[in-house]
Chain A
Amino acid sequence: MNIKRMKHKRALWLFLLPGTLLYLFLFAYPTLSGLFYSFTDWDGVSDSYRMVGLGNYKDSFDSLVFRKTLLNNVKFMLSVVIVQTIVSLVLAMLLSRNTRTRVFLRALYFLPAILSSVSVGLIWSFVYDPTIGMLNLGLRGAGLDSLTQNWIGDRHIALYAIAAVQVWAHAGQMMIVFIAGLQAIPGELYESARIDGGNRWQLFRHITWPLLAPASAIVIAYTTIQSFKAFDLIFVMTDGGPNNATEILSTYIYHTAFGNYEFGLASAGSMIFLVVLAVLTYLQFKALRTDRAA
């Protein structure tokens, strides 16, 4: 029996081997060399560089742009996570039953998720154009001139306008996750609660929400990571402008590394980015765990 187990274990190690080798070699190793470069002044092009210790980390935190970027990133992430979770949950609850119309609508809602984010950014650049864009034209057509905005040109609005596009592109995908979760909740639970005189809100609070916890965990985790890594959208739509109003960490890293030739500084930015994201993910994980346990 023991010998057999050992043989099994050996086979399992072999299962892990090819993928893990590939992963360590082509993913982990380049990522760790990023850590190394964060202590250098490499420009990304030359053959030589100097070690500068923690200088890049200090410069990052000293930089006004970097601090603005961090703040932007938090705003962007919070608005996407909150809005996308609510939108996809509401949609899921409205479309959870399988009827022909509902299945069609689900497919429609999901559709943007299969477009590349470069395409989505391009499309929305035109939608948001103040003069020829369909959004302002539509508002004017409906007599709502006062609602027209300089969507991606106004520094107070631009970040949220892009967050809205992110939601547009991915809420349908997250809705599907919620629907899956909803369909797994046994109908009898609702029946008996209704007999006990529970109203809509109570049903949601005490049955739907707790039982959806695993689905919410997935949705929130995915959305956080997605919103943190949102690069293509911003790159195509505003490239971080106007005046850095939409610069987030991923675009900042890109600009620093390739626009300013400061690969070392950009790597330091990436490492800070990684730490922030890891902490956030961990906190979320913990929060959702305790929520489920309670």
Chain B
Amino acid sequence: MTGKSGKKVRYLLASGALALTAVLSACGGGGSAASGSGGDVTINFLHWRGEDVKALDTIIDKFETANPTIKVEMQTLPSDQYQSTAQAKLSDGSVGDVFASFPGAQFDALAKAGVFTDLSGSSFLDSFNADLIAAGQQDGKQLAVPYQLVYNDPIYNVKLFEKYGLTPPADWEGFLALCQTLKDNGVIPIAFAGADIGPGQFMNTMVMNNEPSDDIFEKVEAGEAKLTDEWWVKTLTQIKELNDKGYFQPDALGTKDAAAGALFVQEKAGMLASGSYQLAQNAAQNPELEQALLAPITVSAGEAKYEGVHTSTFMLAVNSKSKHPEEAKKFLEYLSQPDVAGEYANATGQNVTVDGVSYDSPELKVAEDWTSKKTLFQPRFTIKNGDNQKAVTNSIQAVLGGSTPEEAAQEAQAVIDQNLSKS
């Protein structure tokens, strides 16, 4: 009796394990077999732009019609998750034959891990504005192609400005006076998402003329310059000044992106400290809104070197571990065609780095006007270490939370020093 039951148990366990292995291997094998057998190739396209899925679906449909042997499977992960899970998957090639990456820290790490295929010399690169895709180069190789063009300058409400006779000021005194006028008229001067994106966006225009160089943060990370130097302390002081004078909405540090945007859309705020990427969304929520971009000039008019900040991002690349690199490149090439890029831009409200695209909405044209201005590549993205990047934005949160600019700068510099001592 006992022995029999013992056997039964063993038999059960053994057969269970067998069945499991069988099913697993069947499921695992099934997918790849299907993609190989019919001559059809499925490529996976991984990115973080959940809001672009609809527009890209349409484009992918057309691509598949034009290339009947290639299927594109698109997957998105929110940008905060993109850093963790996407990276692991990208680095072993299990997803993302075509994938997007952020400039700065992420690009560097993925480049170091050898995830990018060198795209140098590909003919489709000629469709792009050569200056704007430099962010995807390393050691002379074009590893990724930035697709989106963003101006990280605050947005302002044109009609509100006209109502109070205001125009974009040319110096810091003018900017403070402008804020004061708005405040006196019961309008929040600047809607500021202090809890999430605000510090990282606003710091760029605030620092661009206080230290008008494109490599200041590189020097900081190399130990050749310090956050406790005058340029950063001044930047922090000026941000604190705006906050202390009540030019941000109350409790700005606890406000998230969506709520800050709502203040601007409802015309309770005159400016929104974000960037051109948000123009289309604002217009969708309030079609009456007339918007333009304005960068605060933190110095006197004569000292101002830059008029604003730009970023080329959503850097498209082909995975070096992809089994279908040719098909992946074909998809990239398709996206680079001016008419396709134009379709993407007009459907998503994002400007693109492809030349010769015709934009059809007023919001896209607003940003297009900025191409002729003298803008600096987003300083925040020149910080290569994620920890350092966070220390920098944290120092802004610290001054908004009551620290003095000197304290905040010292605290941030301590983190940088620590990272310097590690390497």
Direct contact of A and B (CB under 8 A): yes
Q: Say whether A153 faces chain B, with CB atoms less than 8 Å apart.
A: yes
- Stretch of B29-37, B49-57, B104-112, B209-217 on the interface side: B104-112
Binding site for A on B (CB under 8 A): 2-3, 5-6, 9-10, 13, 16-17, 80, 83-84, 87-88, 91, 105, 109-110, 112-115, 194-196, 249-256, 259, 262-263, 385-387, 390, 394-395, 397-398, 400-403, 408, 411, 414-415, 418, 422
Contacts of A125 in B (CB 8 A): 256
Nearest chain B CB to A117 CB, angstrom units: 15
Tell me the bound Cα distance from A59 to B414 in angstroms: 13
B103 to chain A, nearest CB (A): 15
A152 to B: closest C-beta gap in Å: 5
Indicate whether A128 sits within 8 Å of B254 (C-beta atoms), given known contacts A17-B13, A153-B195.
yes
Q: Which residue on A lies nearest to B255, using beta carbons?
A: A130
Q: Are B13's CB and A18's CB within 8 A?
A: yes
Decide: A7 and B253 in contact? CB cutoff 8 A. Answer: no
Complex CA distance for A286 and B109, rounded to whole angstroms: 46
Contact between B109 and A261, CB atoms less than 8 A apart: yes
B397 and A241: CB pair below 8 A? yes
Nearest first, the 4 closest Cβ-Cβ pairs linking A and B are A153-B254, A153-B253, A130-B251, A150-B251
A114-148 interface (Cβ within 8 A of B): 125, 128-132
Shortest distance in angstroms between B397's beta carbon and chain A's nearest beta carbon?
A: 4
Chain A 61-88 interface residues, beta-carbon cutoff 8 Å to B:
62-65
Interface size class of A (residues with CB under 8 A): 35 or more
Check A131 against B255 for contact (C-beta < 8 Å).
yes
| Interface residue SS majority, chain B | helix
CA distance in complex: A214, B84 (Å): 40
Residues of B within 8 A of A244 (CB): 394
Q: How far is the CA of A257 from the CA of B84 in the complex (A)?
A: 8
Contacts A64-B415, A129-B256 known; 6 new A-B pairs at CB < 8 A: A43-B112, A152-B195, A152-B254, A153-B252, A242-B401, A260-B385
> B394–A8 contact, CB under 8 A?
no
| In the complex, A195 has a CB within 8 A of chain B | no
Can you spell out 14 A-B residue pairs with CB atoms less than 8 angstroms apart?
A14-B9, A15-B9, A43-B113, A44-B87, A45-B112, A62-B418, A64-B411, A64-B418, A150-B253, A242-B394, A243-B395, A255-B387, A259-B387, A261-B105
What is A's interface to B at a CB cutoff of 8 Å? 4, 7-8, 10-11, 14-15, 17-18, 43-47, 59, 62-65, 125, 128-132, 150-155, 235, 238-239, 241-245, 254-262
Residue of A nearest to B387 (CB): A260
List, in ascending order, chain A residues with CB within 8 A of B6's CB: 7, 10-11, 14
